[in-house]
Amino acid sequence: MRLNLSSNDLKNELPTITMKLIKTACLVLSFVLFASAKDEKSNLVFGKQVSKSGIKHSFLICGNRTVLLNENSEIIWQTEGYGRDGFVLRNGHILVSVGNVAKEITREGKVVWSYKLSKGNKELGSCMRLENGNTLVVERGVNPQLLEVDKVGGIAVRVPLQPETNNAHMQTRMARKLPSGNYIVPHLLAFAVKEYKPDGTVVRTVKTDLPELGGRKERNWPFTAIHLNGGNLLVNLTNGNKTVEFDPKGKVAWRVDNSHVGGRFADPCGGQRLRNGNTVICSYGQKKGDMPKIFEVNREKEVVWEYFNPEVRAHEVHVITTNRKPEGL
């Protein structure tokens, strides 16, 4: 792509372009530091990464242990509590949903921003920092809702949700904001991923109880709803033990299940599509010692990387680097 800028345009835009390049360089450097950083206090190796092709990741695990690991599987950050969702932010801080509170925490453990669950509701699930600086959170309970919370804790956007159940814990999982400004929300017992406008209107429903996926008897409860380049959605079907990529019309474009990966799926929860097209999957319910808690498959459904740790129940994962190259945020 070429930029047709006049000399005056270039002069005016140069400071902005320069600042963007500086920010990008700093971000790449921070990712590389994440990949090799060591925790001076503990330097504890936590689990084991296995890959025949030499893949190594630095990544954040949210679950019964909420920890950030470098590519040597050493703990470089951790926090107390059971993490439901989380991301490493561009400033190096970690945003996590722990104990019904969304928190932004520095590498030194200082909480610099937080939002607590509303009175009357029961659970706070998703949390994600948005491009506008707000933080997306989702509350489950008598008033299921998606919120955008601003930097000072005010509610900038409130979206009422339609989970089709009063069972608070089973109402929603990992909601995200779409490039269009709408929101995509998995509803487990509705067997549906719904796209909401900011006013709460549902404009699209992707069904996960399709006959070709085994119908409702497979308990294909949607957990993730990750918007991919091109408009497809990557959805982990938790009790259904499969990962499915749906096209914008809700048709199955790609899928992987236990028939392809030797039984590694056990209640898959969080996941991520990497830059190279591979898919990372959390096997939250995995209890077998010879099976990974997180694994990665390529488009050919071959397992190319695994993370083993008997102490971990991985609810969500955020891969930061692959072999010292950033995966992005």
- CA-based nearest residue to 267, from 282, 247, 250, 252: 282
Indicate if the pLDDT at residue 111 is higher than 60: yes
Which tens digit of pLDDT belongs to each residue from 169-210?
A: 999 999 999 999 999 999 999 999 999 999 999 999 999 999
% of the chain exceeding 70 in pLDDT: 87
Q: What fold characterizes domain 7-326?
A: Methylamine Dehydrogenase; Chain H (2.130.10)
Indicate if the pLDDT at residue 4 is higher than 50: no
Q: Is 140 helix (H, G, I), strand (E, B) or coil?
A: strand
pLDDT at residue 14 in the model: 44
Indicate if the pLDDT at residue 161 is higher than 60: yes
Which tens digit of pLDDT belongs to each residue from 311-321?
A: 999 999 999 99
Confidence category of residue 34, pLDDT binned at 50, 70, 90:
low
Indicate if the pLDDT at residue 15 is higher than 90: no
Please give the Cα distance from 103 to 114 (Å, whole number): 4
Find the angle CA(293)-CA(174)-CA(190) to the nearest 5 degrees: 105
Task: Tell me the residue length of the chain.
Answer: 329
pLDDT at residue 328 in the model: 72
End-to-end CA distance of the chain: 23
Token pair for 205: 């429903």
Which tens digit of pLDDT belongs to each residue from 213-261?
A: 999 999 999 999 999 999 999 999 999 999 999 999 999 999 999 999 9
pLDDT at residue 321 in the model: 98
Indicate if the pLDDT at residue 67 is higher than 60: yes
- CA-based nearest residue to 325, from 253, 274, 272: 274
pLDDT at residue 36 in the model: 52
Instruction: Map out the domains of the chain as residue ranges.
Output: 7-326
Token pair for 15: 């400071």
Mean pLDDT value across the chain: 91
Indicate if the pLDDT at residue 290 is higher than 90: yes
Q: Which of the two residues, 157 and 32, has the higher pLDDT score?
A: 157
Q: Is 21 helix (H, G, I), strand (E, B) or coil?
A: helix
Distances (CA, A) of 256 to 43, 182, 220, 234: 36, 28, 13, 11
pLDDT at residue 65 in the model: 97
- Which residues, in sequence order, are CB contacts of 228 under 8 Å at separation 6+? 234, 245, 273
Indicate if the pLDDT at residue 94 is higher than 70: yes
Instruction: Give the mean pLDDT of 117-141.
Output: 97
Instruction: Give the mean pLDDT of 47-76.
Output: 98
Which tens digit of pLDDT belongs to each residue from 39-57?
A: 444 579 999 999 999 999 9
Indicate if the pLDDT at residue 308 is higher than 80: yes
Q: Which residues, listed in sequence order, are joined to residue 57 by a DSSP beta bridge?
A: 322
Instruction: Render 249-277 in DSSP notation, one character per residue.
Output: TS-EEEEEEHHHHTT--SSEEEEEE-TTS
Burial degree of 298 (CB within 10 A; 0-12, 13-18, 19+): middle
